[in-house]
Copies of this chain bind each other. A is one copy, B any other.
Amino acid sequence: MNQHDLLPAIKRVTVADLEPIALGATFLGTGGGGDPYVGSLVAQVAMERQTGRQHVDVIAPEELADDDFSMLVAGMGAPSVMLEKLVNLAPLEEAVAMVEQRAGRKVTAILTAEMGGGNSMIPIAFAAQRGVPVIDGDGMGRAFPELQMLMPHIEGNPICPMAVVGDAGERVLIEAVPTVKHAEILGRPLSVAMGVKNTIACFPMDGEATRRSLVPGTLSLAHAIGNAILRGRREGDPFGALFACLSRSPHYRHHARLGEGRIIDVSRRIERGWTLGVCRVKTWEGDEMELLFRNEYLVAKRDGKTLATVPDLIMVLDAETAVPMTTDDIKYGQRVVVITTSAADCMRTPKALEIVGPDKFGLDEPFIPIEQRLSAQAHSL
């Protein structure tokens, strides 16, 4: 693939870009991450409130200087609650300021924790509010349910100091933890105690650490995916536009249509803050597909045969519009297309798989990259 085939990098985010970014982030949310609708309104308000300009600058990872200073921001909690509670920009500023105070320096660029679902919008809102650029990249390249599943952790950066701020004015600073898993163990019940919705800032890093601790280009990717789906719908071929877009992404270019049909069963339960369950799809060919999920889709099977697993991305798209459907959205009777794409390379390394491999989600499956599965399938034909 030559340089011209690659997706264009976004250099600034305007209000008009929020819709495609939100749509692309829902796609990368791979079923989880929550709905970015409310987040996009907040980002819009923050952008419109700026004096003298109406956009946010985007900085490419390679443009970060060693002495730049970044951190991750995100909302933590249950997506369904996030949709119902009004969003407040103040806790976002508070959370970053708490970590800045402890670090003794101000952020020069902000990093998206999770370019999947609602968390795609939080850093844009902060960037607008503070007047700093947002980095083109994120900590996961998709959505994942736990804090240790972030690239900054996989690359060995400490998560602390980590600020956890509630909407009622609760400000908690986790100053030290023996392992990042403890930050998750402490952060999750704090989130519940704050009303299942709060804002976190963590993983303060200099520019050098930031550059090697992110999945690059995912803001541009979300923007391009969203635009492809929107344009494709207008032009009558959303799937064609989507697949053409994915083919131009260095990380996500391997992809496959796993099946198309009608949802015949969704069983879902809420447990310890997660949405757990199974979605069954009867394909037009008469096969049965089974998708297990924990916030995100974890594994896709067809007639008992595994077709794809985490960390590769599995998406359920509306068969008409190619709009991605979250594990909260899917319902009996819907016509869907199930697809998969490769995860970012850095999420498939041996050290990444120790943290985000299928066994970490309770699956008794090896991780086989989708391109290997496709190649084996081609050979067996």
* A interface residues (Cβ-Cβ under 8 A, vs B): 98, 166, 168-178, 182, 185-186, 188-190, 192-194
Contacts and interface: CB of A to CB of B under 8 A. Distances in A.
A53 to B, nearest CB: 32
Interface of A is mostly: mixed
A233 B172 CA distance: 49
Contacts of A98: 175
B193 A192 contact: no
Given A186-B193, A189-B189, A194-B186, A178 B170 contact: yes
A186 B174 contact: no
Nearest to A194: B186
A189 B185 CA distance: 10
Contacts of A168: 178, 182
Contacts of A172: 172-175, 186
A171 B171 CA distance: 14
A277 B249 CA distance: 62
A18 to B, nearest CB: 31
A261 to B, nearest CB: 43
| Closest CB pairs A-B (n = 7) | A189-B189, A171-B176, A171-B175, A169-B178, A173-B173, A168-B178, A185-B193
29 contacts: A98-B175, A166-B182, A168-B178, A168-B182, A169-B177, A169-B178, A170-B174, A170-B176, A170-B177, A170-B178, A170-B186, A171-B174, A171-B175, A171-B176, A171-B177, A172-B172, A172-B173, A172-B174, A172-B175, A172-B186, A173-B173, A173-B175, A185-B193, A186-B190, A186-B193, A186-B194, A188-B193, A189-B192, A189-B193
Nearest to A177: B170
A156 B176 CA distance: 30
A163 to B, nearest CB: 9
A172 B159 CA distance: 13
Contacts of A189: 189-190, 192-193
Contacts of A173: 172-173, 175
A111 to B, nearest CB: 23
Nearest to A187: B193
A189 B192 CA distance: 9
Contacts of A192: 189
Nearest to A192: B189
Given A168-B178, A186-B193, A189-B192, 5 more contacts: A169-B176, A170-B176, A171-B174, A171-B177, A190-B190
Nearest to A176: B171
A126 to B, nearest CB: 19
Among A171, A172, A176, which residue has the most Cβ atoms of chain B within 10 A?
A172
A189 to B, nearest CB: 3
A270 B192 CA distance: 21
Contacts of A178: 168-170
A132 to B, nearest CB: 23
A95 to B, nearest CB: 11
Contacts of A185: 193
Contacts of A188: 193
A170 B193 contact: no
Among A169, A170, A188, which residue has the most Cβ atoms of chain B within 10 A?
A170
A186 B166 CA distance: 10
A98 B98 CA distance: 15
